[in-house]
Amino acid sequence: MWLLHSSIGRKLIMSISGVALVLFLLFHLSMNVAAIFSPEAYNMICSLLGANWYAVAATIVLAAVIALHFIYAIMLTLQNRKARGNNRYAVNVRPAGVSWASQNMFVLGIIVCGFFALHLSQFWYKMMFAELIGHHKVELGGELVSTQDGVAFIRYYFSQLWVVIAYLVWYAALWFHLTHGLWSAIQTIGLSNGLWLKRWKAVSYIVATLIFLGFAGVTLTFYARSLCCAGI
């Protein structure tokens, strides 16, 4: 089947899955921003997205999309390296108009996936997964916390400097990945042309920056609040 075995088909699958992941990031960002202004609203969302069947189904779909995106990224990277042969060992100067991000998409993707694993271990594993195996409270910082008290998790982890720094590195890698990946995906899908290419590139930078500033803003806000309340 050409969609699975051809270079164009693989790029198309990776592009569609990439756009889907960007939409998920925007949804996730809107949730996190709500935690700043209304902890109650955020926890209400957490309860709606707990171990309910629709949330579990959506999580399975999301995991499949992430797996598809990463697997096809590996396949295309190996394919490109094989096509270049010994030329990949030569010292190459980056061509004019080619961004640093475009030449390091796979490495950036590995960084993003690595930190995503950290995020899963801190939040999803102790929230949705804990509920699925019958635990409604988990140990967090020496205290038992409800698996649906999402704000408690945010406050706990984002009060630790090393976690804050790690997440900021993650957001930066994600920014670089999106500035090239989003418009490239749209172009592969066929929604771009000579007129719209520059516009889609601008949109990609705007979306990537919005995601970076939004997540970084939430992280730094809760870290700042932890410092202000440390002595109370």
pLDDT over threshold 90, residue 50: no
Distance (Å) of CA 136 to CA 39, 52, 160: 19, 13, 24
Specify the amino acid at residue 65: V
Across the strands, what pairs with 143? Answer: 140
3-state secondary structure 96-134: CCCCHHHHCHHHHHHHHHHHHHHHHHHHHCCCHHHHHCC
Closest CA to 221 of 174, 154, 132, 166: 154
Could you report the per-residue pLDDT of 24-46, keeping only the tens digit for each?
A: 999 999 999 999 999 999 999 99
Q: Rounded distance, CA 153 to CA 159, Å?
A: 10
For 144, the enclosing helix (H) or strand (E) is strand 143-146
Specify the amino acid at residue 20: A
Computed over every residue of the chain, the mean pLDDT equals 87
Question: Tokens 């590995």 map to which residue?
Answer: 110
Predicted confidence at residue 85, as pLDDT, reads 61
pLDDT over threshold 90, residue 154: yes
Question: Tokens 């089947």 map to which residue?
Answer: 1
Q: Pick the residue with more confidence: 19 or 230? A: 19
Q: Rounded distance, CA 172 to CA 49, Å?
A: 27
Q: What is the mean pLDDT of residues 109-120?
A: 90
Could you report the per-residue pLDDT of 58-80, keeping only the tens digit for each?
A: 999 999 999 999 888 888 878 87
For 69, the enclosing helix (H) or strand (E) is helix 53-84
Predicted confidence at residue 91, as pLDDT, reads 47
Q: What percent of the chain has pLDDT over 90?
A: 57
Distance (Å) of CA 37 to CA 40, 100, 155, 193, 210: 9, 37, 14, 41, 18
Distance (Å) of CA 200 to CA 38, 217, 226: 34, 25, 39
Terminal CA-CA length for the chain: 63
Predicted confidence at residue 189, as pLDDT, reads 84
Could you report the per-residue pLDDT of 187-196, keeping only the tens digit for each?
A: 888 876 667 7
User: Which of 16-30, 41-55, 170-184, 185-199 bottoms out in mean pLDDT, i.e. has the lowest?
Assistant: 185-199
**Strand 143-146, strand 137-140: pairing:** antiparallel
